[in-house]
Structure 1
């Protein structure tokens, strides 16, 4: 049984990428409790908030063809005022399939073409205490030898690098990174 009842949902501040919402919940004692979160959906309602997970973004863990290296990104993230290691990732356009978004984002951010999507996971939540946004994670193979020009947006500061297992261990021990990247990189770097 859910101890909370959502009584109102008010968009407070929409912008280009996110809308800031105030949700008012009533607990089992009748107390009203405000909760704030962000969403990529600027038209959320009480009825649509509890919908099934729908990926608004994709992220890719990318191997080279013999799985001896993985591709990482190093991107400036404004909330941290610093660079963070991660995986290629981006938003799904309204008319795109997940696979189309994967191919497009890989080309835009890295300049590499997709050879194969080895596995694509169902959408999952990266930070459900902050947002309703869900991400589809794909395990991919890229052709490391063929890179074209990237098409980054003007507000993106992003570089890419191929790392082997030893380099991955050093990054894991010393660098800032996303949680998704951390667990995937650790698992790959420690394979026997």
Structure 2
């Protein structure tokens, strides 16, 4: 398998569509389409695969002794999705800074301790080169939606182990894959920090 070239098919403010040309293991030419946040070219050509586009925040509320989960309207699913607070990392911003900013904007909660950060991981490598980092933090405060824009509808939830088990087993709701993985582990063994 060898990547040979790419062509930009579409561009917008946040997403770009590229056609990737490559040779399969028998040397035959093939194409693949992918969505990227990169404007100049897909990450597989730019060498930026180890750079995080976004941060996902797994926040543990110290006073309530619960994980912070959000229920957010997502256009792509035409309804509400349960997930963790998350957002794009701004240029020049560290992962820790982005996690603090996004948690405050989406939930009104404040990061009080940053425990660990995952390596860069891919959100859905079959269709995009988007990369995320998962930040595990402790937080405090009372929830607020004051930081939400008019295009966001976010409800902050505090989830204990029994709640996590119920959410993971409820096939009537939509769950983000990262959230399902963390919540299923939390339901089985407690906080993952």
Say whether 1:153 aligns with 2:149. yes
Structure 1 residues 95-174: aligned runs within 5 Å = 95-143=92-140, 145-148=141-144, 150-174=146-170
- SS in structure 1 at match of 2:126: coil
- The residue that corresponds to 1:185 in the other structure is 183
Q: Structure 1 residues 114-123 or 145-154, which shifts more?
A: 145-154
Q: Which runs of 5+ in 2 are unaligned?
A: none
Instruction: Say whether the 8 Å CA contact 1:113–1:142 is kept in structure 2.
Output: yes
2:95 and 2:107 mapped to 1: Cα distance? 18
Report the alpha carbon displacement of residue 73 of structure 1 after superposing the two structures with TM: 0.7
Report the alpha carbon displacement of residue 119 of structure 1 after superposing the two structures with TM: 1.0
Structure 1 residues 1-192: aligned runs within 5 Å = 4-44=1-41, 48-65=45-62, 68-143=65-140, 145-148=141-144, 150-174=146-170, 175-191=173-189
Instruction: Say whether the 8 Å CA contact 2:64–2:158 is kept in structure 1.
Output: no
Instruction: Say whether the 8 Å CA contact 2:55–2:89 is kept in structure 1.
Output: yes
Tell me the number of residue pairs that the alignment of Structure 1 and Structure 2 aligns. Answer: 188
1:77 and 1:52 mapped to 2: Cα distance? 26
Q: Relative to structure 1, is the Cα distance of residues 97 and 46 closer, same or farther in structure 2, using a 3 angstrom cutoff?
A: closer
- SS in structure 1 at match of 2:138: strand
2:42 and 2:164 mapped to 1: Cα distance? 43
Q: Aligned Cα RMSD in Å?
A: 1.9
Q: Which runs of 5+ in 1 are unaligned?
A: none
Q: Relative to structure 1, is the Cα distance of residues 149 and 129 closer, same or farther in structure 2, using a 3 angstrom cutoff?
A: closer
- SS in structure 2 at match of 1:8: strand
Report the alpha carbon displacement of residue 53 of structure 1 after superposing the two structures with TM: 1.4
Deviations 1:53-86 (A, max 9, x none): 1101000111111673111011122221121100
- SS in structure 2 at match of 1:128: coil
Instruction: Say whether the 8 Å CA contact 1:122–1:136 is kept in structure 2.
Output: yes
